[in-house]
Chains A and B, each alone.
Chain A
Amino acid sequence: AQSVTQPDIHITVSEGASLELRCNYSYGATPYLFWYVQSPGQGLQLLLKYFSGDTLVQGIKGFEAEFKRSQSSFNLRKPSVHWSDAAEYFCAVGVDSGGYNKLIFGAGTRLAVHP
């Protein structure tokens, strides 16, 4: 069965420090992979996506993610975190379900940023 695992429920970093959020997926075919961010009281906003090609993808707000097929991972990174990055982050995999596409989400990682 398809699934997405985000091993870290909560992460706290200091402002200016680097960040890596982990994501592992389980899907038999070539995966379409996504990272979304949810600020408090808001819906989800797409940060970046991977469909094919270069395994390092750039997104909005200075985020990037690297697809590693051998590790079934799609980790999100940012070199220097800003206080405004405090939010919840969701990794997702796009799957084909009976000819329809749908997204399967991980449980999320809540990021806190210390000044």
Chain B
Amino acid sequence: DVKVTQSSRYLVKRTGEKVFLECVQDMDHENMFWYRQDPGLGLRLIYFSYDVKMKEKGDIPEGYSVSREKKERFSLILESASTNQTSMYLCASSFWQDYGYTFGSGTRLTVV
């Protein structure tokens, strides 16, 4: 069964901490995405990557960065966590030019 695995389901961090959210896929997908999900706002794209060491900004990249050193792994980094980054974070992957995304189960991050 194909999978997108997010390393943590729940995470609590303090304001100002550097936070790493990890995502691994086992489908040899070229594309990987990080979305943020908030009530009433749906999913908003933070960053995406179409190849190793390649990244593109999504719609809300401020306060975030990403890293893709290997094809299967895509990391979202909060350089200095703030309370307004408390949210559900969803990782997804797909083949090149394919809109059929596979999503992970999400990481619910709380910044206190």
Residues of A near any B CB (own CB < 8 A): 4, 6, 9, 32, 34, 36, 41-46, 49, 90, 94, 98, 100-108
Note all chain B residues with C-beta closer than 8 A to A41: 105-106
B50 to chain A, nearest CB (A): 6
Is there contact, CB below 8 Å, between A101 and B99?
yes
Within 8 A of A (CB), among B70-112: 90, 92, 97-101, 103-106
A9 to B39, CA, bound (A): 10
A102 to B50, CA, bound (A): 11
The DSSP consensus for interface residues of chain A is: strand
Is there contact, CB below 8 Å, between A9 and B40?
yes
CB nearest neighbor in A for B9: A41
A44 to B42, CA, bound (A): 12
CB nearest neighbor in A for B106: A43
Note all chain A residues with C-beta closer than 8 A to B40: 9, 107
Note all chain A residues with C-beta closer than 8 A to B45: 102-104
Most buried by B among A101, A106, A107: A101
Is there contact, CB below 8 Å, between B4 and A100?
no
Note all chain B residues with C-beta closer than 8 A to A94: 99
CB nearest neighbor in B for A46: B100
Note all chain B residues with C-beta closer than 8 A to A4: 42
A98 to B98, CA, bound (A): 15
Note all chain B residues with C-beta closer than 8 A to A44: 43, 90, 92, 101, 103
Note all chain B residues with C-beta closer than 8 A to A103: 43, 45, 99, 101
Is there contact, CB below 8 Å, between A43 and B90?
yes
Is there contact, CB below 8 Å, between B42 and A108?
yes
Note all chain B residues with C-beta closer than 8 A to A90: 42-43
Note all chain B residues with C-beta closer than 8 A to A106: 42
- Knowing A43-B4, A105-B43, A106-B42 are in contact, say whether A100-B103 is a contact too (CB < 8 A): no
